[in-house]
Structure 1
Amino acid sequence: MTETSDVECLLRLLGPTPKNVLEVCCGSGRVLVPIAMAGHHVTGFDLDTEMLAYLPAKVNRVKQHTPHIDIHWSEKDLFQGDWGGPYDAIILAGNIMLNIITEGDYDAAQRRMLALASQHVQPQGHLILHFDCFAHPEEVFNSQRERLIFEGTDDRGVYGRYLICSGRYDPQTQMARGSHRTELTLPDGSQQVCYGSFTKHIPTLAQVHDWLQENDCAVVEEYGDDQGNPIGVKTHKAIIMAKKR
């Protein structure tokens, strides 16, 4: 689904000077393409070939009025492929911190992802994280009531809603598990409903700070929403910009 506030926030953090930027798990290019259009040299990768398949047509449309954009992408597993670089900035957005998939320890996978990002950003370069962050995750997940997480319309005209139907949060393991529903309305008016389950490790803000620090990255900017408000009890996001020493 298309949501522009996070893209605008990421562009503000990157600044106007052209940079060599990597987006990890770039999907269909919802973030990647606007960053390229802003004049940055961008690279993205993702393991989801169905999402990557949307990129060629999207880039071709953009090139009709912005012919010189510098954008590259590939199919890659973030834990197995070569990220290239080093980059001026690496973006970890799209809630990849919580949506990371692993057959092992989720906590260790999140920590390793930040370590890999740190290894591929150049000194004085930046890591930019954009993810859901909850002061009280039990209030979000320990409920039998449906909770709307996101709704919007993508650039193909598909309107969608993503809802958590039920869930359970374990404060000892910091794991949230439950069921979700995705509702889609296609441009022709037809509707699709998909059900599924989720498993997420919900890191605390302090944990993320520690993981960044142990990889020689210092937080230089931090917000609780895309408008630049501070992180607080009522905010449900963390936008962090950290500089590699």
Structure 2
Amino acid sequence: MSNRAIGIFDSGIGGTSIFKEIHALLPHENTIYLADSKNAPYGNKSKKEIIALSIKNTELLLEKNCKLIVVACNTATTNAIKILRETYNVPFIGIEPAIKPAALNTQTKTVGILATKGTLSSELFHNTTDLYTNGINVFEQIGEGIVELIEEGKTNSDDMRSLLDNYLKPMLKADIDYLVLGCTHYPYLIPLLLEMLPKHIKIIDSGLAVARQTKAVLRQHELLNIRSQNTENVFYSNGNVTVLKAILEHKFTANALDF
């Protein structure tokens, strides 16, 4: 048993969607979350830059004595997690777009994926896609500009609706019946997407699967915390703390930190 914290980092506030799933499944676990909003989005950066930012975030979480690190960013996972696992002696949990369930269940044999350029162009993403999508048409769409709007607190804005309308129209024309959200910021779009998409299209994200994997790895390494008292969930941002507090619905402490 360990009451040390689970560390979570993302290129901003989007990974809080992963935190919420982990917290719901593992309410006794302490957590430390890093929102690297100053450098968001990671999706348009080079692999070298993404690796350097992921190392910076990891080392800060290790300084805070975290027992496991969740890379709550698709782009950081697909570009950096292999190096992180080779470099540091703690378990890492990564995030990959949930292509497999979409490919297994599609009736139209066409699925859409909305993700960042960094995720869609990565080797890990293409390997996963090739593994599960034989005979399936995968419509890939780069979500240019979405992360920036979410980081600015404009999730439900006219600008966001206009962006999504442009991105969804070609997918609908291609007859997708599943939409895979390939960025941890994107689950915050689900209420808007449900308004904009036909009812038969199912939306899939990775949050619950990541929480379950986190629990399994903690158990495997005998790191689960079963104490129910004095649990702490602390959040740090090097960007706009007000937006982070709002997306957390002011239920948790959010602090400014220069990192």
Instruction: Establish whether TM, by shorter chain, passes 0.5.
Output: no
Q: Normalising by the residue count of structure 1, what TM-score does the alignment of the two structures yield?
A: 0.34
Structure with greater contact order relative to length (CA < 8 Å, sep ≥ 6): 2
Whichever structure has more helix as a proportion of its residues is: 2
